[in-house]
């Protein structure tokens, strides 16, 4: 249909909202970041003053390093475990597979606040059920949350646990789109289960795997709740990653200048990931 | 690829080990939730017992009473309102937009739709988008209003909803809308009498995702509104952590209450969630 007024009227409200909520704050944020900011309010053009203060400040390199470690470990572990689970569920009888799939999705449906809170309760010093179980195995009461390595480890575990369900759904959809005949043929030719997985399934799963990895990376980098509730960035700065750093700069230290600058740096990184996502998601208008 | 044949390569014991491992993983998924729900019904004496007990305790509703006295039900009501407005607005905006993108030719159609797709993961960028969003909304005086959160949530849910609904409109035969037009109907009639009924499963999927998304949102909810009457559930739970400290009874009770609506939505429309997510590109 070659009518431009009707479609415009139909999509304009949606675009007006997206422009107002998603786009205009970024434009305003760029302007704001170039202002001198005092007590949370802009007081005049300041050039790159906020960016200079951001990069001259202590600990930013460490924060980036920890973010890379947390996100890298979480994404790799989530993808590997989810792929194994998806392959397993794919081979179950449909009914049972649906039940398992539903159970696997539960932590993803529950809010990050609730999931993290419950996880902290499971691992809390001396009375948590997991702390107790670990204690009986290692022979001492352990408190992972007070040790730097333990806290980061738990942060990764929660991040993985929370997102496996999402990854399983997408990967399962990918597995189901692989024609049975391909694997059947390989089997008749005498290929082992591992060979079939390695040579047929894995190459055909490249796009869904990459897509999942991109979305998981974005989600891990930008999630504030998990570090905020599990560790508060501690002990000391052991779990201070970008998401909580930018949140605390703005709402605990009230330094909106460097907070906006850092948010824009993160936003630039997000844009790169979004471009990768747009390429991988095979959309068509 | 669901034929079981390839299992032959694995030995019986290896297969048993794999199954046991996978079952363990499934249990690990539910254990923290079960443990939290059980804790919420334990009196303090049972709660701090060591070694911990699973089922050997006398259940009590004391913690729920304290949480409710602290205003948790009001907060849940507020959040139901936010989520309902978000679902309604999201679907009302997404259906015509999806229809326009699927059925019309117009300039920049590809580019505009690419923006929609790009916005799907962008609305995940809570931490990166939040600060500019916050300074902007403070600047124009939108914070602390009853509509600021539904406004933000709708923008976050909209791109995904357009994508899902467009996927279904693609499969609705064009003859149906053409018949309506030939009979003298307008495109609004097509939307109301053809698209609305036929796209209902997709709208269910998009709607339930929008509900879950806004019910579970924390970051915007915690900074965009101050007044207790406007606080949604997730920031409320977070403020309980400061308020109740190490009192895990009230904390797990509030967590349990916050899960209930999600589980109800999931039980009623869980199939739609999976179908919606499977449709294509998705949020994490």
For chain A, list the domains and their CATH numbers: 62-256 (1.10.3720.10)
In angstroms, the separation between the Cα of residue B242 and the nearest Cα of chain A is: 10
CA distance A122 to B35: 7
Do B196 and B211 fall into the same domain?
Answer: yes
Residue B9 DSSP class:
G
Do B177 and B237 fall into the same domain?
Answer: yes
Taking CB atoms and an 8 Å limit, are A21 and B47 in contact across chains?
Answer: no
Chain B residue numbers touching A281 (CB-CB < 8 A): 117, 120, 280-281
Do B109 and B46 fall into the same domain?
Answer: no
What are B276's strand-pairing partners? none
Chain A residue numbers touching B28 (CB-CB < 8 A): 161
Do B144 and B172 fall into the same domain?
Answer: yes
Do B220 and B103 fall into the same domain?
Answer: yes
Do B45 and B103 fall into the same domain?
Answer: no
> Which of A14, A206, A242 lies closest to B119 in space, CA to CA?
A14
Asked whether residue B168 is domain-assigned, the answer is: yes
CA distance B180 to B188: 10
Tallying the residues shown for chain A, one arrives at 285
* Domain edge (last residue) among B60, B81, B108: B60
Chain B residue numbers touching A282 (CB-CB < 8 A): 280-281
Which residue do the tokens 């590809």 mark?
B110
pLDDT winner (highest mean) among A111-115, A132-136, B54-58, B122-126: A111-115
Asked whether residue B283 is domain-assigned, the answer is: no
Taking CB atoms and an 8 Å limit, are B122 and A194 in contact across chains?
Answer: no
With a pLDDT cut of 70, the percent of chain B lying above it is: 93
C-alpha dihedral (A137, A138, A141, A146), degrees to nearest 10? -120
Residue with the larger pLDDT of the pair A129 and A13: A13
Residue B193 DSSP class:
I
CB B135 within 8 A of CB A262: no
> Which of B117, B72, B43 lies closest to B236 in space, CA to CA?
B72
pLDDT of residue B7: 46
pLDDT of residue B94: 97
Taking CB atoms and an 8 Å limit, are B105 and A112 in contact across chains?
Answer: no
Of A28, A127, A201, the CB nearest to B48: A127
pTM of the model: 0.91
Asked whether residue B284 is domain-assigned, the answer is: no
Of B18, B238, B281, the CB nearest to A229: B238
Nearest residue on chain B to A116, alpha-carbon basis: B32
What CATH number is given to the structural domain containing B263? Answer: 1.10.3720.10
Do B55 and B84 fall into the same domain?
Answer: no
Range of the domain at B160: 63-278
Of A118, A275, A282, the CB nearest to B33: A118
Asked whether residue B180 is domain-assigned, the answer is: yes
Task: Give how many domains chain B has, as a whole number.
Answer: 2
Residue with the larger pLDDT of the pair B168 and B4: B168
> Which of A91, A97, A8 lies closest to B15 in space, CA to CA?
A91
Per-residue pLDDT tens over the stretch A21-35? 999 999 999 999 999
Do B140 and B85 fall into the same domain?
Answer: yes
CB B124 within 8 A of CB B219: no
CA distance B86 to B211: 7
Per-residue pLDDT tens over the stretch B226-240? 999 999 999 999 998
CB B103 within 8 A of CB B169: yes
Average pLDDT of the residues in A81-103 = 87
CA distance A160 to B114: 30
Do B30 and B45 fall into the same domain?
Answer: yes
- Residue B282: band (very low, low, confident or very high) from pLDDT cuts 50, 70, 90: very low
Asked whether residue B190 is domain-assigned, the answer is: yes
Which residue do the tokens 């999630």 mark?
A223
Per-residue pLDDT tens over the stretch B110-128? 999 999 998 988 877 678 8
Do B183 and B254 fall into the same domain?
Answer: yes
Cis status, amide bond into A235, omega within 30 of 0: yes
Per-residue pLDDT tens over the stretch A195-245? 888 988 999 999 999 999 999 999 999 999 999 999 888 888 999 999 999
Do B30 and B68 fall into the same domain?
Answer: no
Do B118 and B16 fall into the same domain?
Answer: no
Asked whether residue B161 is domain-assigned, the answer is: yes
Average pLDDT, chain A: 89
In angstroms, the separation between the Cα of residue B76 and the nearest Cα of chain A is: 14
CA distance B100 to B77: 35
């Amino acid at each position: 249909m070659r009518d431009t007024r009707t479609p415009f009227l139909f999509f304009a409200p949606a675009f007006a909202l997206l422009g107002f909520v998603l786009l205009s704050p970024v434009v305003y944020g760029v302007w704001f970041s170039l202002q001198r900011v005092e007590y949370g309010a802009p007081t005049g053009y300041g050039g790159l003053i906020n960016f200079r203060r951001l990069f001259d400040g202590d600990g930013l390199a460490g924060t980036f390093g920890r973010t890379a470690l947390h996100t890298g470990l979480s994404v790799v572990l989530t993808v590997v475990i989810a792929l194994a689970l998806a392959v397993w569920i794919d081979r179950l009888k449909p009914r049972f597979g649906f039940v398992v799939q539903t159970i696997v999705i539960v932590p993803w449906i529950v809010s990050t606040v609730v999931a993290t809170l419950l996880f902290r309760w499971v691992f809390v010093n001396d009375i948590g059920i997991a702390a107790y179980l670990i204690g009986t195995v290692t022979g001492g009461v352990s408190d992972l949350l007070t040790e730097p390595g333990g806290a980061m480890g738990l942060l990764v575990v929660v991040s993985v646990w929370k997102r496996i369900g999402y990854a399983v759904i997408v990967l399962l959809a990918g597995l189901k789109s692989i024609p049975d005949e391909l694997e059947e043929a390989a089997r008749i030719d005498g290929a082992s289960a591992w060979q079939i997985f390695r040579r047929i399934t894995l190459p055909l799963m490249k796009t869904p795997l990459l897509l999942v990895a991109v979305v998981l990376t974005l989600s891990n980098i930008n999630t504030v709740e998990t570090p905020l509730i599990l560790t508060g960035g501690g002990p000391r700065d052991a779990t201070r990653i970008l998401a909580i750093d930018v949140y605390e700069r703005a709402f605990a230290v009230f330094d909106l200048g460097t907070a906006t600058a850092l948010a824009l740096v993160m936003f630039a990184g997000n844009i790169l990931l979004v471009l990768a996502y747009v390429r991988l998601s095979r959309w068509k208008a | 690829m669901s034929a079981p044949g390839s299992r032959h390569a694995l030995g019986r014991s290896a297969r048993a080990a794999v199954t046991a491992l996978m079952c363990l993983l499934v249990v690990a998924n539910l254990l923290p939730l079960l443990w939290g729900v059980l804790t919420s019904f334990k009196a303090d004496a049972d709660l701090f017992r060591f070694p911990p007990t699973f089922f050997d305790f006398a259940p009590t509703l004391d913690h729920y009473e304290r949480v409710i006295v602290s205003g948790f039900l009001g907060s849940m009501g507020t959040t139901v309102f936010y989520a309902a407005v978000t679902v309604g607005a999201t679907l009302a905006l997404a259906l015509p937009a999806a229809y326009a993108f699927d059925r019309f030719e117009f300039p920049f159609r590809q580019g505009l739709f690419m923006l929609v797709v790009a916005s799907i993961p962008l609305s995940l960028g809570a931490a990166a988008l939040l600060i500019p969003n916050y300074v902007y909304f403070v600047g124009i005086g939108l914070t602390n209003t009853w509509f600021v959160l539904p406004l933000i949530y709708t923008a976050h849910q909209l791109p995904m909803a357009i994508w899902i609904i467009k996927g279904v409109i693609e499969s609705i035969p064009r003859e149906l809308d053409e018949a309506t037009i030939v009979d003298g109907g307008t495109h609004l009639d097509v939307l109301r009498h053809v698209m609305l009924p036929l796209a209902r499963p997709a709208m269910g999927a998009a709607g339930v995702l929008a509900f879950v998304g806004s019910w579970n949102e924390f970051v915007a909810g915690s900074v965009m509104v101050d007044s207790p009457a406007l606080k949604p559930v997730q920031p409320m739970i977070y403020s309980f952590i400061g308020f109740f400290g190490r009192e895990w009874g009230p904390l797990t009770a509030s967590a349990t209450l916050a899960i209930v609506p999600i589980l109800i939505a999931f039980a009623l429309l869980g199939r739609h969630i999976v179908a919606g997510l499977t449709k294509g590109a998705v949020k994490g």
